[in-house]
Amino acid sequence: MAQVPAFSGPDDNSRLKCPHSLRNRFRKQPSTRMQCDNKSRATARWMSFRNLISVLLAILAAVASPSAVSQLRSDFDLGAQWRVNSTARLMAGMPPMHPAHIESAQTDAWKEHAAAMQAAWGKVMDGRVAAMSSWRDAAISATCPVNKTLLYPFSGPDFFNAWWLFPDCDTFVMFGLEHIGEVPDVEAMNERQLKGMIADVRTATGDLFDRNYFITENMARQLRTANLRGVVPLVMISMALAGVDILRLRPLDIVTGPRPASAGRSLRQLKGVTIEFRAPGGTGIKRLHYFSVDATDSGLSRYPEFVEFVRKLGPTTTFIKSASYLLHGREFTQIRSALLEVSGFLVQDDSGLPYEMLASRGWQVRLHGKYDVPIPPFQRAYQTALYRAYGEQKPEPLPFTFGYQFHDYRDERSNVMVGLGPSPEKRAAIEENLGKRVAMRAISRISR
């Protein structure tokens, strides 16, 4: 621990008790006794203040040292909170707060990084965020639509869109194939490593700033570099830019017991992390749960706990964008069924749940933007029923880019569906009727 400097102040060398010569004169000189008592109390107060300052300096010296912990342990671990928020700010091109990061922020490489990040973020704030916020209040709600819980499947590290569209939600549940990763250890980096890390940050955030989505194949490379690993750093950057205060990071484990030998193969071992944070100017604690998971039917057969976890979240506000049209295929039937079951309110682009599937289940869907043939290689996910619905509703173009339909900032092909699910009673009746139809079709095929 670093040496704590001694503090001195008025009467620092005086004793807490009156000098013996003064005590002998108490009875004869009451005023002298009063002066001595006042002096003793003042000295005691100074000593208490000095001790408090010494303790605080010792704590600061400890957390500023390179050996400070790299993970947040609790809401009261102020040193670790300080370090992680400072790391987030450093990556986001904002002045860091931690003493161990000040030197890094003095390098020419970081100053260039800060200028680039702030220029890119300024354009996003003035354009996309302002438009999204205005549209959100008019088309969705200024509050979390259902149950204060946002469910964002196939999200990757996209806290940005989740936060700016649903800032009133208290719990954010996100999952994707991308690894969780770790908080970068800036204190352990030399200048070359720091330069490489911040260059990786600009590369990894480039697609989000330019297109408003992450590209899966790019993330496979960008989030596995020597100094930037996984989803956590990018979520931290979005939080820092949004003015969010990170309180705690901790592992989230929902796996119970060993996997049965008969379980299917999975591309990922199910792992989770919880990030507790506080909104700017807020007092309550919000939570982001992120799971690295293979959400195919084969992958989930190995981790049935995850599907059960999702089903227990309902009813949720569900958000789906830039999801590679995975829910249109046959390999994601379990998670698709769970999403249809738990979702009470839905905001998505055309890559989410198929429109015809929503309409047949009694969803009331308002359309926004413009629908067109999906970009390559997703042309086969074109939805005729959705195209007809757009023709009937004739909505206005979106004032911001959203989803895959992006060419440049003049592009008006982005689309959003805002849906309200049926009541639980109506939902049960619809599902029962759908089940009967499926059974009848199966019987008809067999009889042929």
Backbone angles phi, psi at 405, to 5 degrees: -75, 80
Cα(232)–Cα(84) distance, integer angstroms: 11
- Measured CA to CA, the distance from residue 416 to residue 367 in angstroms comes to 6
Q: Give pLDDT, residue 224.
A: 72
Q: Kindly report the three-state secondary structure assignment for every residue of 164-177.
A: HHCCCCCEEEEEEC
State how far the alpha carbon of 366 is from the alpha carbons of 8, 23, 337, 427, in Å: 70, 87, 22, 19
pTM of the predicted protein model: 0.78
Query: Given the structure tokens 């089940």, which residue do they identify?
Result: 435
pLDDT tens digit sequence for 257-295: 776 555 566 777 899 999 999 999 998 999 999 999 999
Q: Which DSSP letter does residue 373 get?
A: P
3-state secondary structure of 430: helix
261 vs 67, which has greater pLDDT? 261
Going by C-alpha positions, the residue among 393, 128, 390 that lies closest to residue 238 is 128
Read off φ and ψ for residue 435, nearest 5 degrees.
Answer: -60, -40
Cα–Cα separations (whole angstroms), residue 267 to 97, 302, 332, 352: 39, 10, 14, 22
Helix, strand, or coil here: 274? strand
Give the pairing of strands 316-320 and 149-153: parallel
Is a pLDDT exceeding 80 seen at residue 428? no
Mean pLDDT of 205-228: 73
Q: Which residues pair with 356 in a beta bridge?
A: none
Residue of 141, 175, 148 whose CA lies nearest to 313: 148
Q: How deeply is 54 buried, as exposed, middle or buried, from its count of CB atoms within 10 A (0-12, 13-18, 19+)?
A: middle
Q: Can you spell out the DSSP letters for 200-257?
A: HHHHHHHHHHHHSS--HHHHHHHTBSSS-BSHHHHHHHHHHHTT-EEEEEEEE----S
Which pLDDT value is given to residue 380?
95
What is the reported pLDDT for 441? 61
pLDDT band, very low/low/confident/very high, at 349 (cuts 50, 70, 90): very high
35-49, 62-76, 169-183, 429-443: lowest mean pLDDT where? Answer: 62-76
The pLDDT-based confidence of 446 (bands split at 50, 70, 90) is: low
Tell me, what DSSP letter sits at residue 47?
H
Model pLDDT, residue 267: 74
| pLDDT given for residue 216 in this prediction | 65
The domain spans of the chain are 1-65, 78-447
pLDDT confidence band for 71 (50 / 70 / 90): very low
Q: How far is residue 153 from each of residues 31, 140, 159, 265, 435, measured CA to CA in Å?
A: 77, 19, 12, 20, 25
Rounded Cα distance, 416 and 140, in Å: 11
The stretch 326-331 carries a mean pLDDT of 96
What's the pLDDT tens digit per position in 109-128?
Answer: 999 999 999 999 998 888 88
What type of residue sits at position 29?
Q
Closest C-alpha to 98, from 128, 131, 133, 69: 69
Omega into 315 within 30° of 0, i.e. cis? Answer: yes
Q: Which residues contact 441 (CB under 8 A, 6 or more apart)?
A: none
* 297 sits in which H/E element: helix 297-302
Question: Which conformational region is residue 104 in: left (phi greater than 0), alpha (psi within -120 to 50 degrees), or beta?
Answer: alpha
pLDDT of residue 438: 54
- pLDDT: which is higher, 426 or 82: 82
Lowest mean pLDDT among 273-277, 298-302, 385-389: 298-302
Residue 107 has pLDDT above 90, yes or no: yes
261 or 199, higher pLDDT? 199
Q: Alpha-carbon distance 152 to 323, whole Å? A: 10
Q: Are 351 and 334 within 8 A, CB to CB?
A: no
Tell me the average pLDDT of the chain. 81
Whether the Cβ atoms of residue 293 and residue 268 lie closer than 8 Å to each other: yes
The percentage of the chain sitting over the pLDDT mark of 70, rounded to a whole number, equals 73
Confidence of residue 57 (pLDDT cuts 50, 70, 90): very low
Reduced to 3 states (helix: H, G, I; strand: E, B; else coil), residue 367 is strand
**Is residue 151 within 8 Å of residue 317, measured between CB atoms?**
yes
Strand order in the sheet with 316-320: 245-252, 271-278, 286-292, 171-176, 149-153, 316-320, 343-348, 415-420, 364-369
- Tell me what pLDDT residue 28 has: 38
